Structure 1
């Protein structure tokens, strides 16, 4: 079962028998419930707990910061003031309506006693009750009207901050599961109609309104019932009945404590797997070509027969389990208490027969008033828990927005003179060791080497040998655990991150193409000439992407992956395209309608050429700037390219290189390695051979052995 994270601290361990209760539900499901303390048996104790109030208190500084931020949004205080005023009036309407109900009860009593009716007063009270109802509808309407722009302004303000808080994270911070979980909790989805901040504002206003409503109703109810025979007793019994009913239902599994459910039943697990297999289009080809359907059908029948009534999901099994249980003592008492108000009314009618009409009116008023009062009380209890969760979410939101990156920025500008980059960049590793987060294995172990300015270096080795890790450390995506990295004889940690990354262009092995237009221009974002079509075209030519990009309908403005889907109902089967995009009728149709094609259908090699062109974009010096890059890093740049495209790529790279330092990581031996100034051959996270191609061949080591093996394939 999957659920959501709560704001509670601590840990839930199903194997802890002392604190966790285990229940077998049927032959499939196993339920683990956190054992509740004795205090939890008291009504409302599961909602009114000290931990919530402590959490609210600890979150107050963040809520105060939220209020200051909301106040800085244009026109928000005006809208918020109107919103508060409207809800203040709305909170008083139930008490006003109760007061007029008491007036109607007085009119009934006077009519019974004096045999006369004050028609003018009756008309006035009736008109006032109608006015209350109309006023409530009008105030609620204006509340919704005002809340819309208020919610929109708050949501947009925090969405911008949320985007910035997420975009600025470096790789190790972003990949930390705890940070991702915090982001998911603080910013569930930008598509939600309400932001966490707006929910907190609304929850706080509702809590205040509920308190006002509760006090005003209690005051008016006391004034109305104090002169009625047995009025307080009937009110108490009605309130007791409501409290017991609420407490009975609030003790359900999903309303208290922490719980988890799992199944270890092999037949049920297989049954679920068979359902998923035949329902997913990805498996259809193998099911058909492998003649699997008869076996799957037979196994499905066997599992269903074995499990019998226990083939349902957990919620169905839990409902059946509860229905089979004998009613509890509390349930029996609750049913008895429900009859007490009618018994008291009957005894009063027998004792005072003349007051039966008034007693009926009193009973109706007491019942409706008590029900309204009880609902208000319950809402206050629930909103206290809700406000605790909302305040905790506000705290987490601000904590996430203030998370510090793991990679600390340096303070020294780089380079001192931009013309230095034209001669390349020198790089030195001194006894560098590194492990990826959450890994115990070394990705690099005691690695040392030096690349002189302007050299072409090729890092060779099998997958997982540490080639890509060296490039990531040079780009400071991570910092080494041990050792030192020098850029132009300066410690890389002392240099400003933005300056280092501006001085290099990188193509990663796991390259991406963004769901944006002008993918190539993103190689030099924010630069005044980054949208220069001639520069973009030139970068595309170097990357080998210009030919197929120009054939696309929107050329360089094409979205490689459309970030917004189209929505439409079921269409006639003759409809093959809509809005210029193909419509797919294949697969199982979901509730949201059919989904058109969202991509332009480029191959992996074409996508890689676009990513390569984006890397070249920064390498090209623009007409209005002397800035360029001095270091080019390529991680398996020809992995998705055919031999012809690979040859053309290396020719363009040699032409582009000039005097820049260029580093390749690859597992291929070929023309590139023969022209390299320096080859680093890696194995098992360490450099085992180092030198030029000729020197390594003469050494007769592992590099020479693999080179000769590959050469023999072409003889």
Structure 2
């Protein structure tokens, strides 16, 4: 599916709805589905006149008003904005003043033709005025650059902060929605010299100034030419052509309507797959070792030959297809308008031969003015995009800011008494069922169990059995479709999310490391103590990470993935270190001027997991009473046997003070000391009890335990 824009309009877009969706073929590869707009259905020639963009502008006006109010609330921004508006207004009026002086030149020409004399004083004033206009225009343009810098910075910082808050607060189901991701990618770009809002402000102001320029130029031009034969008619024809040229030249992108494009062409899909395969480092070893390149090249060549001009990207194919469509009504009208001024001038010259010099000067003035106006308008839209697209993006930005999380917050504070966390948290599942988004299979089906306060519970099972899902539901990363989860006897959905998560420490199997220093990675476990280095070191010791961290060159200040990379080019072959960091060896490529970045510190999988464990311990130190529940998802997957033993010994010291739940696919000493073991298979609990209970029962747990024990005999 092509990643186009995403609309937040209410309702559902159904490509199979022939009544409300128009289906077209773009070449022989792509199919495009565009939503019909009932608002425009009753307007004749609405599609030919491209009225969708104006409807988009109208629908976006409330959001533009909200944007303007937000900008006005930024400190000192209104002052810069008023100054910027004044400058742009003055710049938009200068062409009309210059045109008026050009009209005075016509008067001088007319007087010279009729009376054979030249008014030298008037000529001097006109020349001085035109020079002054040019100088003032230059000074205003230069002053504008000093105003736009602070304006853009203030606006960008204001909205960047708001966008950061939006991205940070989204929960997993909402953030993981592909439609939400596409919307966020469009309105929250990772980097941009100009902010979306500032670009929209500039586009809007320039459009307003362009309108002022057009009206002022037309007014002056008509006043200059009103006493000349057919002068107003020539001006009207020339400017009409320029205006229609702008209308027909700004829309080569997909329609502003809701739309979607897809392809079922096997050759095209295979071609794109081959392109991705040969560009990805992940496949390079197999391509080389398997001698696959000749086959892949021949298949790629075959696909290109079969597809022909349709082998390009969707955007390219769509633009070509749209250019080949029947021209719009505006395009048809624009053609004869281009020729009419010359025809009118010729007829005028035949009727009044004596007026040819003055008429010729008038035509040149009109032509140069209309071409200048048309060129500036075209250049404006080539750099800033259309008003409708910018307004639409602002609307989507504000809709993105109002995105609601799928996991609803509760209203009951938790816990009522923080001292109660000293003995842990009780958890009960009652017939819980859960399916992951985009999956038809159950991850959990009718799961029920109860863990008392302070108990140690181990969940065993193969990969995909549902172990990790239980922990994610307890942490309210996801919501069950059926059943109840009780925390200390209360429905988990009724508890305030921030309160409950503050009382919980979690280490997931797919743990991550943030592009921050080791110190900050650990401190994120409890941001309230991020400046307490002693506490951070204590957490690192509990996580088994303190020894190797202290051996690193920068210790706790070492970055696992340095977010700001060093750039360099043209280095000598002997350069192996730069700014105290190693330079990767790129051979001769490095000395050929290419800008490269250094990589970050590399640690082993076990060391990375120990840092993640330390972050969890940051919240779960025995001396603290704010955390009553510890959730560990495969906490020793990357640890060696000695590190695993040390970890479990440290965790056993917390027994009775906190409720602890572990998920694992292998047996160990931890299961022997567990208060409760849950054995899972295919999303259900098949066995439950303590180690001794399950051994006596002689079920699958006992068989697997004995099998693993025999391996060490």
Superposition TM-score, scaled by structure 1 size: 0.87
Distance 1:357 1:565 in 2: 67
Distance 1:526 1:35 in 2: 48
Q: Secondary structure at the match of 1:483?
A: strand
In the alignment, what sits opposite 2:134?
133
In the alignment, what sits opposite 2:693?
695
Change in CA separation of 1:373 and 1:82 when aligned onto 2, cut-off 3 Å = same
Contact kept, 8 Å, 1:567 with 1:592, in 2: the verdict is no
Contact kept, 8 Å, 1:581 with 1:596, in 2: the verdict is no
Change in CA separation of 1:40 and 1:667 when aligned onto 2, cut-off 3 Å = farther
Of stretches 242-251 and 441-450 in structure 1, the one that deviates more from structure 2 is: 242-251
User: Within 5 Å, which residues of 2 pair with 1:37-52?
Assistant: 45-47=49-51, 51-52=55-56
How far 1:153 sits from its partner (Å)?
Answer: 0.8
Of stretches 445-454 and 609-618 in structure 1, the one that deviates more from structure 2 is: 445-454
Contact kept, 8 Å, 1:31 with 1:259, in 2: the verdict is no
In the alignment, what sits opposite 1:167?
168
Contact kept, 8 Å, 2:48 with 2:328, in 1: the verdict is no
Contact kept, 8 Å, 1:505 with 1:631, in 2: the verdict is yes
Of stretches 474-483 and 330-339 in structure 1, the one that deviates more from structure 2 is: 330-339
Contact kept, 8 Å, 1:523 with 1:615, in 2: the verdict is no
The question of 1:655 aligning with 2:658 is answered no
In the alignment, what sits opposite 2:424?
424
User: Within 5 Å, which residues of 2 pair with 1:403-442?
Assistant: 403-442=403-442
Q: Secondary structure at the match of 1:412?
A: coil
Of stretches 136-145 and 313-322 in structure 1, the one that deviates more from structure 2 is: 313-322
In the alignment, what sits opposite 2:153?
152
Of stretches 73-82 and 244-253 in structure 1, the one that deviates more from structure 2 is: 244-253
How far 1:148 sits from its partner (Å)?
Answer: 0.9
In the alignment, what sits opposite 1:232?
232
In the alignment, what sits opposite 1:479?
479
Distance 1:593 1:272 in 2: 28
How far 1:107 sits from its partner (Å)?
Answer: 0.6
In the alignment, what sits opposite 1:536?
536
What are structure 1's unaligned runs of at least 5 residues? none
In the alignment, what sits opposite 2:708?
710
Of stretches 702-711 and 331-340 in structure 1, the one that deviates more from structure 2 is: 331-340
In the alignment, what sits opposite 1:209?
209
Q: Secondary structure at the match of 2:597?
A: coil
User: Within 5 Å, which residues of 2 pair with 1:667-678?
Assistant: 667-678=665-676
In the alignment, what sits opposite 1:522?
523
In the alignment, what sits opposite 2:611?
610
Q: Secondary structure at the match of 1:679?
A: strand
Q: Secondary structure at the match of 1:141?
A: helix
CA RMSD in angstroms comes to 3.8
In the alignment, what sits opposite 2:106?
105
CA deviations over 1:374-394 (Å, ceiling 9, x no partner): 568889999999444444433
CA deviations over 1:253-272 (Å, ceiling 9, x no partner): 76787877766655555455
Q: Secondary structure at the match of 1:136?
A: helix
Match for residue 665 of structure 1 among 663, 666, 674: 663
How far 1:241 sits from its partner (Å)?
Answer: 4.0
Contact kept, 8 Å, 2:26 with 2:321, in 1: the verdict is no
In the alignment, what sits opposite 2:463?
463
Contact kept, 8 Å, 1:7 with 1:392, in 2: the verdict is no
User: Within 5 Å, which residues of 2 pair with 1:269-288?
Assistant: 269-288=269-288
Change in CA separation of 1:279 and 1:431 when aligned onto 2, cut-off 3 Å = closer
Change in CA separation of 1:268 and 1:408 when aligned onto 2, cut-off 3 Å = closer
Distance 1:296 1:154 in 2: 50
How far 1:275 sits from its partner (Å)?
Answer: 4.4
The question of 1:499 aligning with 2:503 is answered no
Contact kept, 8 Å, 2:514 with 2:521, in 1: the verdict is no
Contact kept, 8 Å, 1:520 with 1:617, in 2: the verdict is no
Contact kept, 8 Å, 1:47 with 1:381, in 2: the verdict is no
Distance 1:143 1:438 in 2: 52
The question of 1:646 aligning with 2:647 is answered no
Instruction: Give the total of aligned pairs.
Output: 705
Match for residue 683 of structure 2 among 674, 682, 685: 685
Contact kept, 8 Å, 2:49 with 2:329, in 1: the verdict is no
Of stretches 644-653 and 691-700 in structure 1, the one that deviates more from structure 2 is: 644-653
How far 1:123 sits from its partner (Å)?
Answer: 1.2
In the alignment, what sits opposite 1:349?
349
Match for residue 15 of structure 2 among 13, 16, 19: 13
Contact kept, 8 Å, 1:621 with 1:628, in 2: the verdict is no
In the alignment, what sits opposite 1:368?
368
Distance 1:215 1:299 in 2: 59
What are structure 2's unaligned runs of at least 5 residues? none
In the alignment, what sits opposite 1:186?
187
Change in CA separation of 1:295 and 1:177 when aligned onto 2, cut-off 3 Å = closer
Q: Secondary structure at the match of 1:441?
A: coil
Distance 1:308 1:615 in 2: 56
Distance 1:178 1:24 in 2: 23
Of stretches 304-313 and 349-358 in structure 1, the one that deviates more from structure 2 is: 304-313
Of stretches 89-98 and 193-202 in structure 1, the one that deviates more from structure 2 is: 193-202
Distance 1:15 1:574 in 2: 66
Of stretches 135-144 and 31-40 in structure 1, the one that deviates more from structure 2 is: 31-40
Q: Secondary structure at the match of 1:644?
A: helix
In the alignment, what sits opposite 2:218?
218
How far 1:468 sits from its partner (Å)?
Answer: 1.4
Contact kept, 8 Å, 1:214 with 1:376, in 2: the verdict is no
Distance 1:412 1:313 in 2: 53
How far 1:487 sits from its partner (Å)?
Answer: 2.4
Of stretches 240-249 and 326-335 in structure 1, the one that deviates more from structure 2 is: 326-335
Distance 2:424 2:669 in 1: 22
Q: Secondary structure at the match of 1:632?
A: strand
How far 1:34 sits from its partner (Å)?
Answer: 5.0
In the alignment, what sits opposite 1:513?
513
The question of 1:584 aligning with 2:584 is answered yes
In the alignment, what sits opposite 2:596?
595
How far 1:305 sits from its partner (Å)?
Answer: 6.0
Contact kept, 8 Å, 1:213 with 1:376, in 2: the verdict is no
How far 1:72 sits from its partner (Å)?
Answer: 2.4
How far 1:7 sits from its partner (Å)?
Answer: 5.0
In the alignment, what sits opposite 1:619?
620
Change in CA separation of 1:444 and 1:280 when aligned onto 2, cut-off 3 Å = closer
Change in CA separation of 1:628 and 1:383 when aligned onto 2, cut-off 3 Å = closer
In the alignment, what sits opposite 1:93?
94
Q: Secondary structure at the match of 1:413?
A: coil
Contact kept, 8 Å, 1:12 with 1:258, in 2: the verdict is no
Change in CA separation of 1:575 and 1:134 when aligned onto 2, cut-off 3 Å = same
In the alignment, what sits opposite 1:450?
450
Q: Secondary structure at the match of 2:568?
A: coil
